[in-house]
């Protein structure tokens, strides 16, 4: 298993390459999109370890989600003139704590490391879950697709790197072949729980249906299948 720093470094590299490719092929519309793709690949590169309790990815995602969620609730209440001040003074921080330590704990309880998050369907779920997150930002369809695919590319780089590290033992400038017990566990299509696997594929089907219009716009050839 590669270290966190290695994963994010590789994620940044593949994000840079993806952004460069998008510029050369004139795929993207907005001029700032290569930077967004760079950041998206960085995020995607640490998402597979989100289910590792107390890991850096877990702390990063849920800490930022708590800050964003609490801030969103605060600004919502400040815009509602009829709501008493103590509502927007108390509920936002409580919301942030619920996200970080409530939802976060529930997530830890029902996930296991190298479970469904660390799999091939996980790549597609992360990729197709990105457009709904970006839906409140006015972006061209191709730009949304570029960011989403960058998340997927970063995610894939994590899985590939873990598989490489399960075969090769890197120590300084010396490299030797040493197949570990983790070999083959990074890039799977299922997880130990049949219920979780079915739920993941159901979620993937829902996301494909939700994004069907975007997929048709970006890849017109898919129109015959939808």
Q: Is the dihedral of CA 175, 177, 179, 185 positive or negative?
A: positive
Total-model pTM: 0.80
**Distance (Å, whole) CA 139 – CA 166:** 39
Mean pLDDT of 96-117: 82
Tens digits of per-residue pLDDT, 71-87? 888 888 877 777 777 77
- Cα separations (Å) of 80 from 23, 85, 92? 43, 10, 14
H/E element, 153: helix 141-165
Confidence class for position 225, pLDDT limits 50, 70, 90:
low
Q: Given a cut of 80, is residue 201 above it in pLDDT?
A: yes
Q: Tell me if 113 sits within 8 A of 51, measured CB to CB.
A: yes
Span of 20-34, 137-151, 158-172, 202-216 with lowest mean pLDDT: 158-172
Phi, psi of 161 (to 5 degrees): -65, -40
- Cα separations (Å) of 114 from 61, 106, 168, 179, 198? 17, 17, 19, 18, 16
């Amino acid at each position: 298993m590669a270290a966190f720093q290695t994963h994010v470094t590789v994620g940044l590299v593949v994000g840079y390459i993806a952004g460069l490719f998008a510029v050369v092929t004139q795929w993207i519309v907005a001029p700032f999109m290569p930077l967004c793709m760079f950041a998206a690949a960085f995020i995607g590169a640490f998402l597979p370890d989100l289910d590792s309790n107390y890991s850096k990815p877990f702390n990063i995602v849920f800490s930022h989600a708590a800050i964003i969620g609490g801030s969103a609730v605060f600004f919502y209440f400040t815009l509602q003139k009829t709501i008493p001040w103590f509502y927007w003074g108390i509920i936002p921080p409580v919301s942030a704590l619920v996200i970080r330590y409530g939802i976060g704990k529930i997530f830890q309880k029902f996930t296991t490391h190298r479970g469904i998050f660390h799999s091939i369907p996980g790549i597609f779920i992360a990729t197709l879950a990105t457009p709904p997150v970006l839906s409140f930002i006015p972006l061209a369809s191709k730009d949304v697709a570029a960011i989403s695919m960058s998340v997927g590319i970063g995610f894939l780089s994590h899985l590939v790197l873990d598989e490489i590290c399960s075969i090769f033992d890197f120590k300084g400038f010396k490299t030797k072949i040493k197949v570990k017990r983790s070999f083959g566990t990074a890039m799977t299509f299922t997880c130990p729980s049949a219920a979780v696997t079915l739920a993941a594929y159901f979620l993937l089907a829902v996301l494909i249906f939700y994004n069907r219009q975007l997929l048709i716009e970006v890849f017109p050839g898919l129109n015959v299948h939808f």
